[in-house]
Amino acid sequence: MRKADSSQFRPAGVADGKLELVSFREDGEHVIEGILKVGGTDNWFPILQGVPSFLTGPLRPDLQDFCGRHGLALPADAPAASTKLEQAKTNETFSDKWRRFKTYGLQPEHEDFLFGWYCKKFALPDREALKAFYRDRERVLEVGPGSGFNTRFIAQNCKGHVTALDISDAAFTTFGNTSALLNCTTVQADLMDAPFADGTFDFIIADGVLHHTPDTKAAVNALYRKLRPGGQFFFYVYRKMGAARQFCDAMIREHFTKLTPEECYAACEGLTVLGRELSKLNATITLDTPIPVLGIPAGTHDVQRLIYYNFVKCFWNDSFDFETNNMVNFDWYHPHNAWQHTQEEVAGWLEELGVTTYQFNDSNPNGISVLLTKPKV
């Protein structure tokens, strides 16, 4: 975190928003270890590995060693809601994942797939149009950046400042991958308590994130408050799928969410091999009529995709190595919170918020891509 960055934070419960920066260790322009003291109180937030952390209660990183080294007493906590405990379990999945896959999306062979997919999510024709989409943004918030590959892309292509916010150890991976960019800040926080004033950002993106919180709709509402009038908000959430896929998912999750990350990676390998071998077939079948009970439309289907979308997650993509493909399957089956929604449900949330300008972009059968604009008045 650069010293000047501390002025942008407004954590909830900090009366006049004043935070005093105390630096313990620096590396160039970044404070690597320090605290942000809350004016007029004994409370403080740590800066760990270059990242200010605004997590409290069961979500807070272990600070015993940090407090010991700097002669600090742990800040007092209010009793934690049960939803925070559920979120803490979900964080175990993602902290582990983003400590292992630090370069996901940053390798050239990943970029075509991932940025091609962003073009679909925003209904844009190509990567140049994607760059143009970001060009005039002034205050961008990426929520749940994972490795930070997209945060880096946005920061490289917009004229303003990009803030990345993640609740898990992904925040440290994102910082590692973006700290050289002058227009980029990373924070560790729960998106439900994002430490920014309402109406701060002109673009917010949360790709594959909100369904991993205790309540997807509450997550949409919490981030919408941080958007300025006229600003845009993109989010992608899991879509409720057909009966067979739902049945398999529920059964597999029942087992896999109880495994350690290590055990779950091993347990996913069979699914990943299935995806790879089906993919090798390079075969299609044509269905003249749809199968509504399974959610399968009529038409020509690639066999691997047909099974993947409608029966069991067995992701395979030739541009990823085996471990990365396996991680995509792990990412589906291990998180404690992983809600699925219908487009009608999401449209209802937007109506309640008074959003009239929005589009659902067709990006893949398993997800709902939403790009909305907040009304100006």
CB distance 84 to 59 below 8 Å: yes
Q: Closest CB to ligand SAM among 93 and 278?
A: 93
Q: Closest CB to ligand SAM among 167 and 296?
A: 167
Q: How far is CA 178 from the centre of its chain?
A: 16
Q: How many residues bind ligand SAM (CB under 6 A)?
A: 21
Q: Closest CB to ligand SAM among 23 and 317?
A: 317
Residue of the chain from 207, 304, 368, 370 that contacts ligand SAM (CB under 6 A): 207
Residue of the chain from 75, 208, 261, 365 that contacts ligand SAM (CB under 6 A): 208
Q: Closest CB to ligand SAM among 23 and 221?
A: 221
Rounded to whole angstroms, how far apart are CA atoms 122 and 124?
5
Residue of the chain from 11, 52, 144, 295 that contacts ligand SAM (CB under 6 A): 144
Residue of the chain from 49, 56, 178, 213 that contacts ligand SAM (CB under 6 A): 213
According to the binding rule CB under 6 A, does residue 190 interact with ligand SAM? Answer: yes
Rounded to a whole number of angstroms, the minimum distance from the CB of residue 289 to ligand SAM is 35
CA end-to-end span of the chain, whole Å?
Answer: 34
Residue of the chain from 168, 177, 216, 324 that contacts ligand SAM (CB under 6 A): 168
Residue of the chain from 143, 241, 296, 346 that contacts ligand SAM (CB under 6 A): 143
According to the binding rule CB under 6 A, does residue 96 interact with ligand SAM? Answer: no
| Binding residues for ligand SAM (CB under 6 A) | 87, 94, 98, 143-146, 165-168, 170, 190-192, 207-209, 212-213, 331
